[in-house]
Amino acid sequence: MEAIKEPNSKFVKVRCPKCKNEQIIFGKASTEIKCLVCGKVLADPTGGKSKVKARILEVLE
């Protein structure tokens, strides 16, 4: 019997430091993520996990 492998990637709820908008982003995003309201960069890709530049409110399973 084979075990089903759980994914390592998670979605993260963050708050924009500029306009306080809350947004859900992917933890291993391959592109730059910007705030949907003000356009400030919230996360940069690094090849693995994203470098998050906003406050992390919660990690969604």
Which CATH code fits 11-60?
A: 2.20.25.100
> What are the structural domain ranges in the chain?
11-60
Cα(36)–Cα(20) distance, integer angstroms: 11
Cα(24)–Cα(11) distance, integer angstroms: 7
> What pLDDT does residue 3 have?
84
CA 56, 46, 25, 4: dihedral to nearest 10 degrees? Answer: -100
Q: What is the pLDDT of residues 18-52, one digit of tens each?
A: 999 999 999 999 999 999 999 999 999 998 899 99
More confident residue, 7 or 10: 10
- In the predicted structure, residue 6 carries a pLDDT above the cut 90: no
